[in-house]
Structure 1
């Protein structure tokens, strides 16, 4: 079980695994090759994982590049980004690891859960790829058994994701410098703004945080706007009438 592995993994061994990821990415010249290398390294390093994937996202939550180790990952991810909901999008939007102990008992993303019920996927852990102050995507692991991952799994995955995000951002910059211009940096969402907008929707509509976040992501995709722009519109709107 990965939870036990994360707690018992010697520091020098963990450092070697992270160094391996650094080495793999530094030898790649293209983003597509880099994300595939990162996915393979993550899968090989985590027992119980049947597939791993990496998705790079723009400010609307739309994939710009992806890499995966198995077709199962490709299918589970494709459904998620088509629906605009799921653990990886939530990890990207909240900039926090997301854990799914058992897909069959998951209620945060009802449409995604129904769509992947027929796949041999029972547990998921995903972490955001954060380069500087920007969330540029997510790294995710899938297991065929329930309760394969726990809270320490997310923390371990973050250790892989942190250096990988920085390196991938550098590769992106070398391929297309305009992607990291100041204008784009300013247009990317602020986690604080998104969280406050979720809070407003939760109070107005009486919905949980996940449902409010799904609504913001869907509106951003439908309008072709950024998550920050949609969130700012919610915050600047008229207050809900008092009962």
Structure 2
């Protein structure tokens, strides 16, 4: 059985091998939403929305019906945390939906849903916001600063993958992307095993170390994995 962190690694690897046309983008956001839900403890559901320059949905993936309903009400009323995260290009956190006055129309519209906490972060690609990731919880104050940091960290590679809608459909291009994705997955798996043995930690803890290192040094996960294998990585807590 794979861990939540492994799920995310494999999703990114799989998405990198896709040609993200309008058809495959839909499958991509669904896979990503499911992996994000598993990676953030206490989540009722998660979603990924790709938006155009006017804030209209291009493609939306969600794990649970409550996410679909809450998102649909944002688009209907033209306000809400996900739309704000997209438009303002900032992470938006709500600790208690019932007590938050920033989006009154949306707050009143979702009052019947089992929804109390939300966390939304923008997807920034080539200097512009193309959508947002979000997680929902039925409990107030459900998301920690670490959850916020993790969602923001996941948004960067997700935006890169989802933003690169490729026009080149040649077999050679697909092959190169797939080989690169598989190589990255294998490097991360090897590095994770080294950290588990070196520090006596489990799968998730090893992945968190590498994600923290990537965030602290502003490099990608492949580079961190290589540094672990080469014995040059630091020891993030």
Aligned length: 163
Q: Which runs of 5+ in 1 are unaligned?
A: 1-12, 177-243
Who is 2:57 aligned against?
63
Report matched runs for 1:171-186 at 5 Å.
Answer: 172-174=165-167
- Deviation at residue 117 of structure 1 after TM alignment: 0.5
Q: Which runs of 5+ in 2 are unaligned?
A: 170-237
Who is 2:127 aligned against?
133
Normalising by the residue count of structure 1, what TM-score does the alignment of the two structures yield?
Answer: 0.63
- 1:19 and 2:5 aligned: no
Report Cα offsets for 1:148-193 as digits up to 9, x if no partner.
Answer: 01333222101111101100111x24399xxxxxxxxxxxxxxxxx
Q: CA RMSD in A?
A: 2.1
Residue number among 46, 67, 71 corresponding to 1:73 in the alignment = 67
C-alpha distance in structure 1 between counterparts of 2:72 and 2:4, whole Å: 31
Report matched runs for 1:60-139 at 5 Å.
Answer: 60-139=54-133
Who is 1:152 aligned against?
146
C-alpha distance in structure 1 between counterparts of 2:58 and 2:16, whole Å: 20
C-alpha distance in structure 1 between counterparts of 2:14 and 2:155, whole Å: 13
- Deviation at residue 28 of structure 1 after TM alignment: 3.9
C-alpha distance in structure 2 between counterparts of 1:175 and 1:86, whole Å: 36
- Deviation at residue 134 of structure 1 after TM alignment: 1.4
CA contact (8 A) 1:125 1:149 kept: yes
Normalising by the residue count of structure 2, what TM-score does the alignment of the two structures yield?
Answer: 0.64
- Deviation at residue 47 of structure 1 after TM alignment: 1.1
- 1:162 and 2:152 aligned: no
CA contact (8 A) 2:47 2:135 kept: yes
- Deviation at residue 64 of structure 1 after TM alignment: 1.0
CA contact (8 A) 1:21 1:160 kept: no
